[in-house]
Structure 1
């Protein structure tokens, strides 16, 4: 790789990293502008919640309810139960197999009756909050969204969800490469691009872009999107628990939606000397699955 190519890649990564912080810096300004527009709408008797209210509600649910309950169980309730067992039965039970089974039963009960249902509900609720936050941020700074036709929108959404799931599985496989440091970096590269794609998808959707346009944009400018998604990927990968990682992701993601909306990324910009087609295998597999399901549906109708 030539020094000039390396300079372009490093520059694109740095710009993406800087743009990812733009939402945090401009957060208050955008919310203030949205609130002013909301006051004008209230005069017209519309009850649409403000951008700040949506973000605070999202943060309260993911941080105040979900994450706090997990932290409270692991760092407050379990230590209290441990200490009570030690005082009642002595150190032999506390250090032995009895406590191991009690710990497992309590954890299984808590996860089954509280964490998992709450996690599923939060995923559904967050989808609506994320979309509202993205729409309001786009309207505040960029104007009226250009939505796709309804049938195209449904197909696009289903394709995108499946694409992200397959790409997530691809990133898990890539991280298992048995070369020290290489597998970890490739996994981090995948997760950073996935985080960027997920954040920018709301902006692209409001611009009327279809899936193939979004995939091409990420692959052509992968250093930029790697830098943009790097902070979010690092924040979520530092936790061993998938539930806690998902909660942290949902807690921080609204800021990255605003960052993606405010990013100084133009259609003609190029931040890489060559495309990196990491999304292509997942996109081809997703396309094959859709073709298979479509053909099955047509045959069943006939």
Structure 2
């Protein structure tokens, strides 16, 4: 009974924390500006009040503006990519197939009937990761500089980052591979021929994946490597299940994956704010090792590539 209670509390707490980003936007700029003003020397404060110089304007926080710009930009980029795929790339490939097999329209029709679903399914399987990369690039420009350093929890202090550039690159590449494989894993479990079970498992996967997306900025700036981030989610999965639930449900409601992608890209920056403000509930007794299979596969792929590189190097010598 106690385990059920802890699970429920963690789930509800995660769900509530995921919505905090919306409320944070209403007071965040004011709080950051007041904190910056309180740290300013008295002479600087007086000058800013009496002389009303331009530097005061430059110090003002504009997190709300940047978040709104990021949401609009993310949605526009994603919608544009979908339109290009649907109305430029697919028609071009179809025309090419028609030209190649023009002497036999039946063969051209059969080839396109096979290629079109394959191309569409491939595009649907990988749309979250490219979208995440675009969002990460846009959001990180202001998040780390303007927000994360000022809003990290008191116990973490200033951003710690990782010890070397090579470690940052390796961690980022490994993280992208794990996330891509985990996305494929979620789509595979959704195909289970058991009523509602496959969809439920897919929803759990997406909740944890979206939680990883949302908290990754915060944890990366705290110096956490990928294995620590994944272990933390697996060990406290009820909280992160609740945290990722709103975004996972919002993206699964639309029947069109175009609308679903736009919903994700628009709301994702707000969930980053929620992740930075949240304090996860700890202490779950039963870890959920959903990331372990893709981590094992990723490790095997990295070892294979490294061994191949070593063999090529030895041959060149």
| TM-score bracket for the superposition, by shorter chain length | 0.7 to 0.9
1:144 is aligned to 2:142: no
CA apart distance, 1:16: 0.6
Aligned partners of 1:120 and 1:233: how far apart in 2? 15
Aligned partners of 1:161 and 1:36: how far apart in 2? 38
Mean Cα displacement is larger for which, 122-131 or 46-55? 46-55
Residue pair 2:29, 2:61 contacting (<8 A) in 1 also: no
Deviations 1:229-256 (A, max 9, x none): 0001111112233333222111101111
Q: Given the superposition, is the C-alpha separation of residues 34 and 279 from structure 1 closer, same or farther in structure 2, using an over 3 Å criterion?
A: same
TM-score when scaled to structure 2?
0.71
- The one of 163, 179, 196 equivalent to 1:164 is 179
Aligned partners of 1:174 and 1:254: how far apart in 2? 28
1:1-302 to 2 correspondences below 5 Å: 3-34=1-32, 43=55, 50-63=62-75, 67=79, 125-135=134-144, 136-142=146-152, 143-148=157-162, 149-265=164-280, 269-270=282-283, 272-302=284-314
Mean Cα displacement is larger for which, 127-136 or 151-160? 127-136
What's the secondary structure of 1:12's corresponding residue?
helix
Deviations 1:98-129 (A, max 9, x none): xxxxxxxxxx9xxxxxxx9xx99976642222
Aligned partners of 2:293 and 2:77: how far apart in 1? 38
Q: Given the superposition, is the C-alpha separation of residues 127 and 293 from structure 1 closer, same or farther in structure 2, using an over 3 Å criterion?
A: same
Q: Given the superposition, is the C-alpha separation of residues 160 and 48 from structure 1 closer, same or farther in structure 2, using an over 3 Å criterion?
A: farther
Mean Cα displacement is larger for which, 25-34 or 162-171? 25-34
What's the secondary structure of 1:62's corresponding residue?
helix
TM-score when scaled to structure 1?
0.74
Residue pair 2:14, 2:240 contacting (<8 A) in 1 also: yes
Aligned residues: 258
Q: Report the aligned-residue RMSD.
A: 3.7
Mean Cα displacement is larger for which, 174-183 or 208-217? 174-183
Q: Given the superposition, is the C-alpha separation of residues 46 and 153 from structure 1 closer, same or farther in structure 2, using an over 3 Å criterion?
A: farther
CA apart distance, 1:145: 1.2
CA apart distance, 1:259: 0.5
Residue pair 2:214, 2:271 contacting (<8 A) in 1 also: yes
Aligned partners of 2:18 and 2:129: how far apart in 1? 28
Deviations 1:152-199 (A, max 9, x none): 000000000110000000001111111112111111000000000111
What's the secondary structure of 2:192's corresponding residue?
coil
CA apart distance, 1:208: 0.1
